[in-house]
Amino acid sequence: MSVIHTWACFLICISFATQDKSPDVAVTCLVLEDCLLPCRFPPASKETIEWFKKDEAVYKIEREDDDDEDEDDDSSEEQNERKQLDGRFSVFLPLIARGNATLLLRKSRLKDRGTYRCHVSTLKGVHDAKVILKVEAPITGLSLAMSRLSGYEEMKCTVRDVFPAPRVTWATQPPTLENLRPVTRMLANKDGLYTVDSRLRRMNGKPDLIYICKVATSYGGPAWTTSLREREIMGNQGKDLTIPCYAPPYMNNPLLHWSFSNRGDPAHILTYDSQTGHAVSSPPWETHVELDGFRVPFGDGSLRLMDPKRLEHTGKYTCVFSMPHHTHTERTDVVISSPGAQRSISEASSYWWVVGLVIAVLVLALLGMLAYLTLRGKTSKHRKDGEEATELRLVRDSKADNNPQESRPLTESGSRGQSGLRTGSQLA
């Protein structure tokens, strides 16, 4: 019994002496990009390299003899027995003799995520290593635009082909007391990548508000922000006009880009790099625009439009501040009016002002006439009533003077009746 126990201990000691295990390694790969899963072992000869995903083999190669380090892959393939279960997996054959069994994964996909095991057996022992592979599709850009498809104005923030599903939040600058209630939809395609569409209704009565969309992933990568402000301004032909553009306070030393569109593709106006102070403008705009480069690093990219023309410079001007993972856009609808149009507008306004004044005078005159007629009617009525009363009194007086007997009997009879009553009472 003791002999068997001794041999068992001896074999266990030999296995521990000949087996090498490396700590687990975590690797993050990007979708559709090549990826390396590292595996190193003590150099030896007659190597057998096997890669497993969980318990399923994905790659295997056996070297029967020592190959020259300068040997290319084609000759190595002829001298070695290789079992490749997926054409996207391979190892660097010339590096095997140096103890490198790193696995190359071409065009990684989301289904490649998981735990991989590298198993190498040589004449000197066995080596095992584990690699935890994560595959993600990071955010590469955001788009933010105003939409009216729902019957009202809303801000639409979109990010495409992202994994894992991101988290979207909204904010405004300056902050508002109203509760922001965005509607966010996430849709995964056949490859498992998410497209996110988040919409926020534009607030009424606040045309100068900045809307900020922020998107972050659960893997802890950098968060992306994009913001937008839209406005409308008017100018006069031949009179210089300043088109405002201000970046949010969290953007420092951004790159500034101005463009113009008028029923066509956007045309480049100028680009200004805050870090180098280098500006590039397009020839058609060189004589019509002016930018204060000292203000751009502090977030003021306002553009001065000199000697504007109605037909040439009426349209949409777009100002974009950009930094790594951050963009801010301001779109301004500019309407340039011609002097004739301004004159006609002023003449029309003066004409309507005169018409309004005449109407007001007529209304006041009518009201005064009505008041006069009403007062006159009351005065004449009062006078007529007085005359009628006087005439009635004169008629009565004249009747009394002509027939004195007609007025007396009532009094005398009344007095007689009273005296008769008194006499009767006395007699009683």
Amino acid at the residue 323: M
What value does the mean pLDDT of the chain take? 80
Q: Name the fold adopted by 16-136.
A: Immunoglobulin-like (2.60.40)
| Choice among 77-81, 313-317, 351-355 with the minimum mean pLDDT | 77-81
What CATH code is assigned to 137-222? 2.60.40.10
Identical fold between 137-222 and 227-337: yes
Measure Cα distances from 185 to 144, 160, 351 in Å: 15, 12, 55
User: pLDDT above 90 covers what percent of the chain?
Assistant: 46
Domain boundaries, the chain: 16-136, 137-222, 227-337
Is residue 346's pLDDT more than 90? no
Q: What is the 3-state secondary structure (H, E, C) of 329-344?
A: EEEEEEEEECHHHHHH
Residue 218 pLDDT: 78
pTM: 0.67
Structure tokens at 383: 């006078």
Confidence (pLDDT) at 376:
73
State how far the alpha carbon of 120 is from the alpha carbons of 28, 65, 77, 126, 176, in Å.
23, 15, 18, 6, 62
Is the Cα torsion angle 306, 309, 310, 314 positive or negative in sign? negative
Residue 45 has a pLDDT of: 82
Confidence of residue 104 (pLDDT cuts 50, 70, 90): very high
Query: What percent of the chain is helix, strand and coil (3-state, nearest 5)?
Result: 30, 40, 30
**pLDDT-based confidence at residue 340 (cuts at 50, 70, 90):** low
Judge if the upstream peptide bond of residue 138 is cis by omega within 30 degrees of 0.
no
Find the range with the poorest average confidence among 194-203, 320-329, 389-398. Answer: 389-398
Which CATH code of 2.60.40.10, 2.60.34.10, 2.40.240.20, 1.10.10.60 fits the domain covering 227-337?
2.60.40.10
